[in-house]
Amino acid sequence: MPRALLLENIDPVAVELLASAGYEVESLRGALDESDLTAALHGVDVLGIRSKTQVTAEVLAARPELRAVGAFCIGTNQIDLTAATSAGVAVFNAPYSNTRSVVELAIAEIISLARRLNDRDRALHAGIWDKSATGSHEIRGRTLGIVGYGNIGSQLSVLAEALGMRVLFHDLEDKLALGNAEACGSLEELLERAETVTLHVDGRGGNAGLFGAEQFARMRPRSLFLNLSRGFVVDHEALRDHILSGHIAGAAIDVFPDEPKEQGDEFSSVLRGLPNVILTPHVGGSTQEAQYDIGRFVAGKLVDYTRSGTTTLSVNLPAVALHGSSAARFALLHRNVPGVLARADALVGEHSLNVDGQVLATRGELGYVVTDVNDALPPALLAALRAMPETLRLTALPERP
């Protein structure tokens, strides 16, 4: 029976789907560090993680039999994709499943900061009746600057405009503006024009330290600031200084450079206790609806891959989906050089088999072919395919109905 290890409190629907597909599933609430993960992967075929667990080259080397990693989140920067690809490990994620959840939190926090609801809430809980319009504003007519105009940034753009905001955005790539949103030629232009700035950038290394003292100083006086993207993007010491000086009127932060690994662990930050600052524990995509959709989507991709070799929407492998049914199927991940497919098919013929169906796709230096044949796969054929110098991984897939 194949084994799946799921970490970081992945939604139970993933456990159900994998179990129904014949997996023995172990699900843990917290993340694991490198040494603990290496030990836990003994006998594991499929690994599921979220954002905290780091799947390094060393982890992958310790479990060469690992077939796939599912990132039950948007980003995959916590996975060494180069090492995974070299090892023939397929990686899947959920790039769209929690977009709406993040956008709704951003809208809620923009309104809360503009109305200073956090401060009003604290005062009332402390027994202080502070009914005043001072510092409280509508968001209608205000200018929102979105840094990163991908799935989340563009959907936020539409909702913010529907609420009456003017929308500016900046992205490293040329993106089509939705509605009346306006692209800015530089980050500096956006910072100088927007009254509220929200970050929705990805986890690439080049974004580390993107926002620091220089960027906060460029923002308009009494602006609002949000980060629901990656913790390492923002210098929190610089943000604290600009909040205390009054230059930044409020901030909402959902991600942090160092985050606790498990529920209930102590959280420390220089932003704790600051006025009109909303701190949330990386819950941008943590709605029940989003976590269910992510669990269902990624688990489904893992099952499809291990059952039929389907790599549609894989982060690192060529996209292949071979439909139909035959007596047996094998999947060959190989170096993308001329002649591999011809030699593989010749080996099939040498073992008195016919090819019933076949799909090949390439991606850079990789080639991936899924082949249906008309009879059971002889061990000698599998050994010959594995022995080809270009083979990275060969998988004999189970019979299908």
Q: Percentages helix, strand, coil for the chain, rounded to the nearest 5?
A: 35, 20, 45
261 pLDDT above the threshold of 90: no
Single out the catalytic residue among 230, 240, 242, 329. Answer: 230
List pLDDT tens digits, range 193-207: 999 999 999 888 888
Distance (Å, whole) CA 93 – CA 65: 20
Q: Provide the pLDDT for residue 324.
A: 82
Active site residue 173: no
Structure tokens at 186: 């530089």
Confidence band (pLDDT; 50, 70, 90) for 263? confident
In angstroms, the CA 126 to CA 356 distance is: 73
The residue-averaged pLDDT of 353-376 equals 96
Q: How confident is the model at residue 293 (pLDDT cuts 50, 70, 90)?
A: very high
pLDDT value of position 85: 95
Whether the pLDDT of residue 12 is over 70: the answer is yes
Q: Would you place residue 308 in the very low, low, confident or very high pLDDT band (cuts 50, 70, 90)?
A: very high
CA 243 to chain centroid: 30
Mean pLDDT of the chain: 95
pLDDT reading at 400 higher than 80 = no
Those residues whose C-beta lies under 8 Å from the C-beta of residue 173, and which sit 6 or more positions away, are none
- Phi and psi angles of residue 254, each rounded to the nearest 5 degrees, phi first: -110, -10
pLDDT at residue 295 tops 80: yes
**Percentage, residues of the chain above pLDDT 70:** 99
Specify the higher pLDDT residue, 347 or 401. 347
- The domains of the chain are located at 1-98+287-317, 99-279, 318-401
Helices 99-115, 288-308: crossing angle, 10 deg rounding: 160
What superfamily would CATH give domain 99-279? Answer: NAD(P)-binding Rossmann-like Domain (3.40.50.720)
Identify whether the C-beta of residue 94 lies closer than 8 Å to the C-beta of residue 297: yes
In this model, does residue 282 exceed pLDDT 70? yes
Q: Which of 395, 113, 375, 122 is nearest to 273 (CA)?
A: 122
- Is pLDDT above 90 for 267? yes
Q: Per the residue annotation, which of 16, 189, 259, 390 is the catalytic one?
A: 259
| Active-site residue flag, 351 | no
The more confidently predicted of residues 7 and 261 is: 7
H helix or E strand, kind and range, residue 92: strand 90-92
Higher pLDDT, 327 or 198: 198
State the pLDDT confidence band at 401, using cuts at 50, 70 and 90: very low
Does the pLDDT value for residue 97 go beyond 90?
no
> Tokens 């609002």 appear where?
224
The answer to whether 312 and 89 are in contact (CB under 8 A) is no
Tell me the average pLDDT across 119-148.
Answer: 95
Angle between helices 117-125 and 99-115 (to 10 degrees): 70
Alpha-carbon dihedral 188, 192, 196, 199, rounded to 10 degrees: 0
Average of pLDDT values for 121-125? 95
Q: How many whole angstroms separate alpha carbon 152 and alpha carbon 270?
A: 27
User: What pLDDT digit, counting tens, does each position of 211-255 carry?
Assistant: 999 999 999 999 999 999 999 999 999 999 999 999 999 999 999
State yes or no: is 67 an active-site residue: no
Contact indicator for 76, 55 with CB cutoff of 8 Å: no
Give pLDDT, residue 338. 95
- More confident site: 165 or 98: 165
CATH number of 1-98+287-317: 3.40.50.720
- Do 318-401 and 1-98+287-317 have the same topology in CATH? no
166 pLDDT higher than 80: yes
- Of 39-48, 180-189, 260-269, least confident by mean pLDDT is 260-269
CATH code: domain 318-401 is 3.30.70.260
- Give the pLDDT of residue 204: 83
76 residue type, one letter: T
Q: What is the 3-state secondary structure (H, E, C) of 272-283?
A: CCCCCEEECCCC
